[in-house]
């Protein structure tokens, strides 16, 4: 069965419908120091989710060009090569969305690692560090997120991140999990701004790569500190901010308060990335319109709808976006599971701490998200949960979709008007999307 905390709700908390405001787009680019994030969309760091396999899966599921918007095509998640996801060659003469609107290669501009303990990183053997900080060339640009409370330890961990080759380093001041907060990490530090200032100074002095921070509005509604914290970050030389527009006390419930993203944007000249309640392309555009933020960060919607970044790129370029078919979902599930198995095979000869481990557990975890929205998906989930090896899981996926009434035509449903996806909401573990 999936890990405790990985349950699926029937509806999002207090969903809000948005239509695309006139003349508003998700920005084509946001610069974090020397790093260009194109387009200005970021995959949020999520514990237990954003490992190297999921990051690459999202990056390649997001490829988009103008040609894709006008042609019937196979699911982007069905392939493993960039060009097979609809990414035309830069030298082919085809006009890319990136020419004026989006990225040359992907609808997702920046990938982020799972959040990693700076204390743990400093104590880890080199082999174990490799597992936590593994990434591949096709993941650039990529940022590593750290949490902790000791300036000197965070500074040393940031140096390790820089030496490993990451493009950015990010400080987590948002995680609401008790075990993190109790050690004065994550959102626990929001009650100690002087300590945050010491951390900012120590990390900024330690590394040359762009240094950013992800934080919440404050501990609770009576202790809102996001504007003051943003000004402090700017004064200490950070390169960008990401605000999850909820308090620590809210956790992931209720409605994100986008007005505080607007307040932070008005208070500083640093790039501001907005986070919270982006479930559809309409939401992403509405956040930019309402807050003036420089980019958007997406967390919980990505495992439920891996096409979200591609859809935002399509919507930005054309005002419409592709809806996944049954064929798309089949190929998406199979592609991700095959990537898990390939990574496990590739790392099996490494020291135990550096191996990916058994992919079956991950398959069962992600089956919870991937199969919702599929008719009879509960049966497939049950079959996957009972499987004992990766080959059995893939056999169950093949068996289920072969029996489906929907033809596996490979055609994607491009709505001539404004297609509206309703990704299935999920509850991640408390620490998953800080």
Catalytic positions, written as ranges: 175
Are 410 and 26 within 8 A, CB to CB? no
Q: Report the 10 Å Cβ neighbour count for 12.
A: 17
Query: Which value, in Å, is the radius of gyration of the alpha carbons in the chain?
Result: 21
Residues near 121 by Cβ (< 8 Å), separated by ≥ 6? 129, 132, 146, 157, 160
Nearest in space to 206 (alpha carbons), one of 171, 241, 242: 171
Give the list of residues 6+ apart from residue 40 with CB closer than 8 angstroms, or none: 26, 27, 28, 29, 30, 109, 273, 294, 295, 296
SS3 250: coil
- Beta-carbon count within 10 A of 368 CB: 23
Which stretches of 95-138 are DSSP H helices? Answer: 118-123, 126-132
Q: How far apart are CA 424 and CA 133, in angstroms?
A: 30
Q: Pseudo-torsion of CA 295, 301, 305, 311, nearest 10°? A: -20
Q: How far apart (Å, rounded) are the C-alpha atoms in residues 118 and 124?
A: 10
| Positive/negative CA dihedral, 199, 201, 206, 208 | positive
d(CA 79, CA 61): 8
CA distance 385 to 380: 9
* Token output for 365: 């975890």
Backbone φ and ψ for 229, nearest 5 degrees, come out as: -65, -40
- DSSP letters, 352-370, are GGGS---HHHHHHHHHHHH
49 neighbors 114 (Cβ within 8 angstroms) = yes
């Amino acid at each position: 069965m999936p890990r405790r905390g990985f349950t699926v709700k029937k509806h999002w908390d207090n969903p809000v419908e948005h239509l695309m405001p006139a003349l508003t787009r998700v920005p084509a680019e946001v610069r974090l120091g020397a790093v260009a994030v194109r387009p200005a969309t970021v995959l949020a760091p999520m514990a237990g989710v954003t490992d190297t396999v999921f990051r690459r899966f999202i990056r390649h599921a997001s490829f988009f060009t103008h040609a894709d918007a006008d042609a019937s095509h196979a699911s982007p998640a069905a392939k493993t090569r960039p060009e097979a996801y609809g990414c035309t060659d830069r030298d082919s003469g085809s006009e890319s969305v990136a020419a004026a609107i989006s990225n040359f290669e992907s609808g997702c501009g920046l990938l982020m690692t799972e959040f990693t303990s700076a204390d743990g990183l400093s104590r880890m053997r080199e082999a174990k560090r490799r597992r936590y900080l593994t990434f591949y060339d096709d993941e650039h640009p990529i940022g590593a997120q750290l949490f902790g409370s000791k300036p000197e330890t965070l500074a040393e961990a940031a140096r390790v991140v820089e030496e490993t080759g990451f493009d950015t380093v990010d400080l987590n001041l948002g995680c609401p999990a008790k075990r993190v907060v109790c050690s004065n990490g994550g959102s626990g530090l929001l009650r100690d701004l002087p300590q945050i200032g010491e951390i900012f100074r120590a990390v900024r002095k330690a590394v040359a790569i762009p240094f950013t921070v992800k934080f919440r509005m404050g501990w609770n509604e009576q202790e809102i500190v996001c504007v003051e914290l943003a000004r402090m970050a700017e004064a200490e030389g950070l390169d960008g901010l990401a605000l999850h527009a909820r308090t620590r006390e809210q956790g992931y419930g209720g409605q994100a308060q986008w007005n505080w993203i607007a307040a932070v944007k008005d208070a500083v000249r640093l790039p501001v990335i907005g986070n919270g309640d982006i479930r559809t392309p309409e939401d992403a555009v509405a956040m930019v319109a309402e807050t003036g933020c420089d980019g958007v960060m997406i967390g919980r919607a990505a495992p439920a709808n891996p096409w979200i970044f591609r859809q935002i790129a399509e919507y930005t370029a054309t005002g419409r976006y592709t809806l996944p078919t049954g064929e798309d979902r089949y190929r998406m599930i199979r592609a991700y599971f095959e990537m898990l198995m390939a990574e496990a095979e590739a790392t099996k000869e490494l020291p135990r701490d550096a191996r990916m481990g058994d992919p079956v557990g991950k398959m069962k975890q992600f089956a919870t998200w991937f199969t919702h929205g599929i008719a009879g998906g509960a049966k497939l989930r049950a079959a996957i949960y009972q499987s004992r090896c990766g080959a059995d899981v893939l056999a169950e996926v093949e068996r289920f979709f072969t029996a489906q009434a929907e033809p596996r035509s490979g055609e994607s449903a491009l709505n001539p008007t404004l297609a509206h996806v309703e990704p299935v909401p999920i509850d991640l573990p408390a620490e998953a999307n800080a």
